[in-house]
A and B are shown apart, each in its own frame.
Chain A
């Protein structure tokens, strides 16, 4: 059974239909790359899966938790899928360690000592245990993004959504973040990522989704999508003729 089931999802902003009936099923452990031009709806789709945007039609199910607009359902859904953002969105008034501890203590009511153990473990996992007491503005962009990943992981989600997580980084910092993601993928974490890192998508992902004008235009294993694009839109996007 698929872990994430996206069925006929439609989303409108006013008159502008951004998602025009999306169907994607994601199996446990799959790593999905979503590619496409800006405005094709890829970020919106990801934000819908986490309930940051409501949907107008269709359904989204994550391990049995359905996306519904009330707070209880949203909480159940968000406990299953974590999200990492382009702009990191660390909490500026809290140290890296506190950033990772906060939601455990607030949402799961984990005792402080236990939350701290988990925070140290997760920061260690992203190679930043020594930055436990550093504040976000003392960290580089790559380090901030890795703390954000640790923060999401500390909630023990069964899937992670990554929304262009390397797009705001200087080129030399991209790899340290991708290395962490690669490790997560190798450990079997289910990942859906909107990305412009085509090489990464080709090397790490199990399937690639090409979105175009609010629809899934092509979907398949990276070898197929990158090696043998079928539609002219994808060919143009990839720059192959």
Chain B
């Protein structure tokens, strides 16, 4: 077998790749920030909120966690227009990722909240803080600290999963790779390059999340 590797196309298609990387980064930035925020709100509702709200959130969480991400994406992009809700491919991709990460992070954060010693709630209450104030100022940060490694992994999973948004023509890194491959017919080289870029992005994202953890949680605080 005498396959001659050829990476000469890299220069020509660099702008396409960079644009794809940019879109993937934008997707994960929006997805992570809004998705985790949504997850925290949902975790509060399920663990500490009113019953009716917890019930609604439970339906949402189970619906998302038990269906494929690709179908969720198709539903938002192709399904919702039937109801008159026309979304651009990027908007649809962003929404799908927020909704997806929101459901998974809800369950992760909820685990952190439920592992809180009862004494923390009682201490907050005895200082005249309302249940929500106690959650916000006392419970939340240690709860996030407890589950931060798991949450970080989930964010990386969602970042890698974002590759499927190329299926609705959102021009992310995978879309760029497909596009380039269809022009240069160099499948091996194109996909090895995009693989390495995803690998680098994932490692960077993990480090970034670890850094966020370091600044968010004081070193000394454990439980």
Contact = CB atoms under 8 A, between A and B. Distances in A.
B152 interface: no
Interface in B117-170: 117, 119-120, 122-131, 133, 137-138, 141-142, 145
Interface in A57-109: 71, 74-75, 78-79, 82-83, 85, 87, 89-95, 102-103, 106-107
A95 B145 CA distance: 16
B119 A78 contact: no
B8 interface: no
B128 A79 contact: yes
Interface string A125-169: 000000000011110000000001001100100000000000000
B125 A137 contact: no
Contact of B220 (A82, A83, A137): A137
A164 B12 CA distance: 75
A91 B138 contact: yes
A144 to B, nearest CB: 12
Interface residues of A, number: 31
B129 A106 contact: yes
Interface size class of B (residues with CB under 8 A): 20 to 34
A78 B128 contact: yes
A155 B128 contact: yes
Interface of B: 117, 119-120, 122-131, 133, 137-138, 141-142, 145, 217-218, 220-223
Interface of A: 50-52, 71, 74-75, 78-79, 82-83, 85, 87, 89-95, 102-103, 106-107, 135-138, 148, 151-152, 155
Given A106-B129, A135-B221, 13 more contacts: A75-B128, A75-B130, A78-B127, A82-B126, A82-B127, A91-B120, A91-B138, A93-B142, A94-B221, A103-B129, A106-B137, A107-B127, A155-B128
